[in-house]
């Protein structure tokens, strides 16, 4: 593998947990002490930047000939080891247009980084279908992390039984589980603009919420450790 990482989700589907999972990755990468830079491409909602204030905005609701603004993602790798990107709903196609236009997959070795696609798995046919299209398009040209989001259901049978999952595993994808965090705690984290990692010790939260954050963070740390070779240079 190459020395650096560019981590992003290429899915267009909104409401599947991209921003929340991006914050979990942020917490994990921060504690591994990698040199990290973060970007938020969702200018409308800016959920990620509210929780991660140092994240930089890039406006991607532009014509294809202006997508070179995303060169900032690659340029950032000159000074850090890992770039983490939170994409906006319906923004996956713009990211993929940029990747194709810039020949980013072909340039990974020249630029000494690995492109890591984070696929969010939920019980939703559209989300699974979009993931299927992306994996067929990119196959072994990128690295893959599957985040199985159990926010809405205790099982993901539709995804587990899908050809999409089988294909992802064939190209070396690593799966991690993202359990359901208590809705009340999640709402309070959003109210006070806290990631789960920060929520463990924040005096803005009740001790019960802090305790839930401690347990959730520890669980996700163990999950992401399974994918450490993908995530940590």
Mean pLDDT, range 205-209, rounded to an integer: 98
12 vs 54, more confident: 54
* Residue percentage of the chain with pLDDT more than 90: 83
The answer to whether 31 touches 106, Cβ cutoff 8 Å, is: no
The answer to whether 61 touches 107, Cβ cutoff 8 Å, is: no
- For residue 52, the SS3 value is coil
Q: What distance in Å separates the CA atoms of residue 205 and residue 210, rounded to the nearest whole number?
A: 6
Query: Which residue, 6, 178, 189, 168, is CA-closest to 86?
Result: 6
* Residue 12, pLDDT score: 83
Strand order in the sheet with 82-86: 56-57, 36-40, 82-86, 4-8, 113-121, 143-149, 174-178
Confidence of residue 91 (pLDDT cuts 50, 70, 90): low
Q: What is the pLDDT of residues 167-194, one digit of tens each?
A: 999 999 999 999 999 999 999 999 999 9
Mean pLDDT, range 204-220, rounded to an integer: 98
Considering the entire predicted model, what is its pTM? 0.95
Total number of domains constituting the chain = 1
CATH number, domain with residue 160: 3.40.50.300
* Residue 105, pLDDT score: 96
Which residue segment(s) compose the domain that 85 sits in? Answer: 4-231
Confidence of residue 43 (pLDDT cuts 50, 70, 90): confident
Query: Which residue, 37, 27, 16, 22, is CA-closest to 213?
Result: 27
């Amino acid at each position: 593998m190459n020395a650096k990482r560019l981590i992003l989700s290429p899915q267009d589907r909104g409401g599947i947990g991209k921003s929340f999972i991006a914050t979990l990755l942020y917490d994990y990468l921060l504690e591994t002490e990698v040199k990290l830079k973060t970007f938020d491409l969702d200018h409308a909602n800016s959920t990620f930047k509210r929780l991660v204030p140092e994240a930089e905005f890039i406006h991607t609701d532009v014509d294809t000939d202006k997508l070179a603004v995303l060169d900032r993602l690659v340029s950032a790798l000159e000074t850090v080891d890992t770039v983490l990107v939170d994409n906006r709903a319906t923004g996956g196609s713009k990211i993929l247009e940029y990747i194709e236009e810039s020949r980013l997959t072909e340039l990974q070795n020249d630029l000494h980084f690995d492109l890591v696609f984070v696929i969010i798995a939920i019980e939703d046919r559209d989300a699974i279908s979009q993931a299927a299209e992306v994996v067929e398009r990119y196959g072994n040209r990128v690295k893959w992390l599957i985040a199985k989001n159990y926010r809405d259901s205790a099982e993901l049978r539709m995804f587990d039984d899908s050809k999409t999952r089988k294909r992802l595993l064939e190209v070396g994808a690593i799966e991690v589980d993202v359990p359901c965090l208590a809705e009340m705690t999640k709402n309070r984290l959003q109210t006070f603009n806290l990631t789960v990692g920060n929520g463990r010790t924040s005096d803005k939260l009740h001790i019960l919420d802090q305790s839930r954050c401690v347990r959730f963070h520890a669980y996700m740390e163990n999950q992401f450790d399974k994918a450490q070779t993908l995530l940590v240079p």
